[in-house]
Each structure stands twice: as structure tokens, then as C-alpha cells.
Copies of this chain bind each other. A is one copy, B any other.
Amino acid sequence: MPWTKVFLSEEDLSQFPAQEGLRSLTFVQALREAQEQLLEQDPRVFLLGEGVDDPGGIFGSTLGLAEKFGSERVMDIPIAENGLTGVAVGAAVAGLRPIFVHMRMDFLPMCMDQIVNHAAKWYYMSGGAVPCPLVIRSIIGRGWGSAAQHSQALHALFLHIPGLKLALPSTPYDAKGLLMAAVADGNPVMFVEHRWIYGSVGYVPTEPYTVPFGQGVVRRPGRDVTVVALSQMVYEAMKAARELDAEGISVEVIDPRTVKPLDEDLVCTSVKKTGRLVIADVACKTGGVGGEIACRVVERDEVLLKAPLRRVNFADAPTPCSPVLEEAYYPSSATIKETIKELCRKS
């Protein structure tokens, strides 16, 4: 299936046997198209966020939408994250379908109150009377020396809050399909996008479609090691896997696509086969989502792990500015590769 394939480069894509009527888009184009179609097909949908209408168009993901749908449905807002999230929650419980866009996930701590204490609990507190269909897009991945307050990935915080769903698309296909699914879902959904893969290419159907939450994908089958990779780490894992093939190590790369709900069976089935698990996330290690994924594996009655667990993450530190320190801070395909080789040496 071309939909589930990860393309590491343009050539990569061109080498793929082109099929009839298959169109390729970048990740950011797919996001933009999803929102355009959502705005077209459902009058309840609207976008709000700081700069959604500006010339940059949130790294291109909302480009031209304000011109096409007007400033009411693509609404620039005051820099008041908590209050405006409250506004979005209010609009959602009143029947609209807001998509709140944050240029950086670092700004979500500003609105934790409305996300954690309101959006997440609204349906439950009301005894199932009033759902809160709110989608919150937030973008992760540093620019140049963005440093500690402009480069955080905080999705683990939301994993812990009952009532929230959590999606981290890695391919253009999933970017569009998961975003359309998020808006259709009817629950508050945290939708986390990594800037560094905005330019990645892949096949994206022209018509609207959804990708179901809770269904992961085997991006690459393998025998020796399972790498559960999230978001941009899927690409790093694929690179590592490709290189390790040459060295005779067969790596299975799994992309859960949504962490909540999590496709537990897919992960466990793979680990049962390989006996080795590496979890590669785009955030700090301690207290991250890797812990939950690991638990789902070791909670199985059957012992699946035959080797120690490994997690590939950012350093457990705030993000530094200096390029030298950034280099040391972020993991890459090389990190994953080394981790896998070390594991295989061990057992």
C-alpha cells in the first residue's frame, strides 16, 4: 500500500512504482488540504490561532485559507492562550468544531487549565450530556537555536489526562487523514506535528478521507529488533533500518500514529517476534510516552522482551541554543543505529 509507505526523499518517491491516479504532496500541503476540505464541507469548522492568517501561514499549513474562507473562519487571535482555549471550548460545546493552531507546543502550558480541567473533562463531568469536539494542533521541532522556550515537545503531558486523544502523524497521508479524523472524532484531540517533516513527500488522495485512531502501521517489517518510532523519529528509524540491513540486522519499524488510543497489539505482536524493543520519541526521556508503551509490553502475561528495553530521546534537559549543544541534544538515525547494535551485541 503506497499509503503506508514512508519516503525518505524525492528520489525515493520517484523510485516507487507510480500507480494510476496517485498524487504526491508534502506533509504541510496535506495538512493545508485537510483543513481546506474541512472548512468547505462543514460550516461548523473554524480555525483560530496566533498568526493563522499571516503571510507565513503557520509554516505554510494555513496558507491562503484566510483569504478563501474569511477572517471569521480563519481567525487571528489575541496572545491569550488560556482564554482563547476557553473560547474554543465554549464554541465546541455549543456545537462548533474549532481547530486551535499553536505555532509551538511550548505555548500549551499557558492553556493547560482549559485543556486539562475543561476540555478533557467536559463530556465526563456532564455525564455524557455535552461532548467537546476541539482539535488542538501544535507544532514541535526547533528552528535555529530556538532554545528552551520555543522547541519543546510536551505530548507526554496529555497522554496522562483522561479524556484527551493524542495523534502524532509522520507521513503526508496520515497528516491529512488523522486531522480529518480528529475533527470528526468529537473529542478533544491533541494533534502534534513536527516541523522537520513538513517537507516530507508521499501519496495523498485528493478526496477527503480519515485514518482511524488506534491503528498503527508497520512501516518496515523486520525480524531482529522492533523500533516503535513517533513522528519525525519514524524517518530516523527508517534510515537506521536501511543502513542496518547491510550489516545483517533486520529492523521492524512501527509507527503507532496515535499514542492515545495506542495500537498495543501491533506493538506486542512485533516484540513477540523480535524480542527486542527500542522506543524512539521526539521528546525528553524521563516521564515520556515511552514509559507507557513499554508498560503495555511488559504487562502482557507472556514475556515478550528478551533483551533490555532501550529508549531514544532528547537529552533530559531544557533545549540549549548553541548549535554544538543542540547537536548533542537531539537524537538521530545514528543514535538509533548505535542503540540497536548495542542491543544486538547484548543478546
Interface residues of A (CB under 8 A from B): 82, 106, 109-110, 112-113, 115-117, 120-121, 124-125, 147-149, 154, 156-157, 159-163, 260, 283-284, 286-292, 294-295, 298-301, 303, 305, 308-311, 316-318, 320, 346
User: Bound complex: CA of A309 vs CA of B260, how far in Å?
Assistant: 20
Instruction: Determine the distance from Cα of A121 to Cα of B284 in the docked complex, in whole angstroms.
Output: 14
- In the bound assembly, the distance between CA atoms of A292 and B279 in angstroms comes to 13
Pair A311/B295 contact, Cβ less than 8 Å: yes
Assembled-state Cα–Cα distance A308/B304 (Å): 10
Which of B110, B287, B300 is the one whose CB lies under 8 Å from A289?
B287
Q: Which of chain B's residues have a CB closer than 8 A to the CB of A109?
A: 112-113, 115-117
* Cross-chain contact of A148 among B112, B125, B160 (Cβ < 8 A): B125
B318 and A295 contact, CB distance less than 8 A:
no
Q: In the complex where A148-B124, A294-B291 touch, is A162 in contact with B316 (Cβ < 8 A)?
A: yes
**Which residues of the other chain, B, contact A287 by a CB distance below 8 angstroms?**
156, 159-161, 260, 289, 291-292
Question: Which residues of chain B have C-beta atoms less than 8 A from A308's C-beta?
Answer: 298-301, 303
User: B317, A124: Cβ atoms under 8 Å?
Assistant: yes
| Contact B160 A156, beta carbon cutoff 8 Å | yes
Neighbour of A295 across the interface among B106, B290, B346, CB < 8 A:
B290
Q: What's the nearest-Cβ distance from chain B to residue A162, in Å?
A: 5
- Distance A292 CA – B320 CA, assembled complex (angstroms): 24
**How many copies altogether?**
2
17 pairs of residues in contact across A and B, judged by CB atoms under 8 Å? A109-B112, A109-B113, A121-B318, A124-B317, A125-B147, A125-B318, A156-B287, A159-B286, A159-B287, A160-B283, A160-B286, A160-B288, A162-B284, A287-B291, A290-B295, A295-B309, A300-B308
Q: Which of B159, B160, B301 is A154 in contact with, Cβ under 8 Å?
A: B160
Complex A-B, nearest 9 residue pairs according to Cβ-Cβ distance, in ascending order = A291-B291, A160-B287, A159-B287, A109-B112, A112-B112, A121-B318, A121-B148, A109-B116, A298-B309
Q: Give Cα A307 to B127, complex, Å.
A: 38
- Chain B residues whose C-beta falls within 8 Å of the C-beta of A289 in the assembled complex: 287
The reply to whether B286 and A124 form a contact with Cβ atoms under 8 Å apart is: no
Query: Which residue of chain B lies nearest to A124 when distances are taken between CB atoms in the complex?
Result: B318
CB distance from A268 to the nearest CB of B (A): 12
Give the nearest-CB partner of A123 in chain B. B318
Contact of A301 among B159, B316, B346 (CB under 8 A): B346
Nearest B residue (CB) for A150? B117
> Complex Cα distance A116/B156, Å?
13
Contacts of A283 in B (CB 8 A): 160
Q: Which residues of B contact A121 (CB under 8 A)?
A: 148-149, 318
Q: With contacts A308-B299, A318-B125 known, is A117 near B294, CB below 8 A? A: no
Residues of B within 8 A of A346 (CB): 301
- A109–B162 alpha-carbon span in the complex (Å): 14
On whether A113 and B116 interact (CB within 8 A), knowing A157-B157, A159-B286, the answer reads no
Could you tell me if A318 and B163 are in contact, using CB atoms closer than 8 angstroms? yes
A209 to chain B, nearest CB (A): 28
